[in-house]
Amino acid sequence: MRIIYMGTPDFAVPSLEILVQNGYKVVGVVTAPDKPAGRGLKVQESEVKQAARRLNLPIFQPTNLKDPDFQAELKALNAHLQIVVAFRMLPEAVWNMPPLGTLNLHASLLPQYRGAAPINWAIINGEKETGLTTFFLQHQIDTGDIILQEKEAIQEDDTAGTLYDRLKIKGAELILKTVRLIEKGDYTLQKQIIKDPESLKPAPKIFTEHTFINFRRKGEDILNFMRGLAPYPMARMRLNDKAYKVFEADFIEDDAPSELMMGEFRTDGKSFLHIRIPDGYLAIQQLQAEGKKKMSISEFLRGNKL
């Protein structure tokens, strides 16, 4: 079976590696173009490109997936199956090209958490369980017929980073299992049945403006929000009109009346900074200003008068 593999970040690397390790013929790897990144704006290759080079696989980096020349190159590979893991949206002419279809790995139990950031949103929303889904691509994003699903518990101390690391390994195993079923023709597709559309929880891409803590939320919700954004892009807050990443905070439960409004703070100017929330206080322990190093709250207060 001839396979074209499409992916960009390190989440997609284990799935590519497991296919090659198990003898599958990957005839082409499609990944994002090289781009400048970091302070020095050095040109960087995607993690999938680096893995493909290690594995001696043909690499394709189209800037436009609708480009007829690229599509002709793709067609000339005569692939039976395409596999997409953490890549961008494909035009129909691409996903409909191979005779066995194009399968996608998504890091949620579809139809819940359709979108670009399912791992983050599952933790932000306080879920106790998430998972992985393999499915065939269709016109609308993340709506195709399901091939396999696997559940994964969300631990109380999980961040988006720790859950991501587990799911990328389990996702590779699910990709291998799915490809073996497709190879044998031994699978049954399951439609994504939605009885109540209002019960669907989306997982849209997270931009910087979405990362600021809402101090009108309860303590548990704020801690979930912080875990869901760690280690990237991190939760933020504003103090004295400056934005700070919040790396660590504790919830102090306190239902006693207070003269402080939600989002106002109390501090001794030396060792603590407590921000009022509906059911108590958020005790900031570690934060970072833009372009500065991380600081403990005592280090921050020594250099900043609030």
Per residue of the chain (306 residues), give pLDDT as tens. 999 999 999 999 999 999 999 999 999 999 999 998 777 778 899 999 999 999 999 999 999 999 999 999 999 999 999 999 999 999 999 999 999 999 999 999 999 999 999 999 999 999 999 999 999 999 899 999 999 999 999 999 999 999 999 999 999 999 999 999 999 999 999 999 898 999 999 999 999 999 999 999 999 999 999 999 999 999 999 998 899 999 999 999 998 888 999 999 999 999 999 999 999 999 999 999 988 999 999 999 998 888
**Last-in-domain residue among 199, 219, 240:** 199
In this structure, are 102 and 187 located in the same domain? yes
Which pLDDT value is given to residue 36? Answer: 86
Which pLDDT value is given to residue 265? Answer: 95
In this structure, are 173 and 260 located in the same domain? no
Q: What is the CATH number of the domain that holds 282?
A: 3.10.25.10
In this structure, are 153 and 246 located in the same domain? no
Which pLDDT value is given to residue 305? Answer: 85
Q: What is the CATH number of the domain that holds 165?
A: 3.40.50.170
Close Cβ partners of 198 (under 8 Å, ≥ 6 residues apart) = none
In this structure, are 148 and 253 located in the same domain? no
Written as six digits, the tokens of 108 are 């949620």
Which pLDDT value is given to residue 42? Answer: 85
In this structure, are 215 and 240 located in the same domain? yes
For residues 114-147, one letter each, b for 16 or more C-beta atoms within 10 angstroms of the residue's C-beta and e for the rest, the string is bbbbbbbbbbbbebeebbbbbbbbbeeebebebb
Which pLDDT value is given to residue 205? Answer: 96
Written as six digits, the tokens of 79 are 């692939």
Sign of CA dihedral 115, 118, 124, 130: positive
In this structure, are 53 and 98 located in the same domain? yes
In this structure, are 269 and 135 located in the same domain? no
In this structure, are 80 and 161 located in the same domain? yes
Domain that residue 212 falls in: 208-303
User: What's the domain count of the chain?
Assistant: 2
In this structure, are 166 and 275 located in the same domain? no
In this structure, are 72 and 195 located in the same domain? yes
The SS3 of residue 230 is coil
**Last-in-domain residue among 152, 176, 199:** 199
**Last-in-domain residue among 182, 199, 216:** 199
In this structure, are 122 and 175 located in the same domain? yes
In this structure, are 49 and 99 located in the same domain? yes
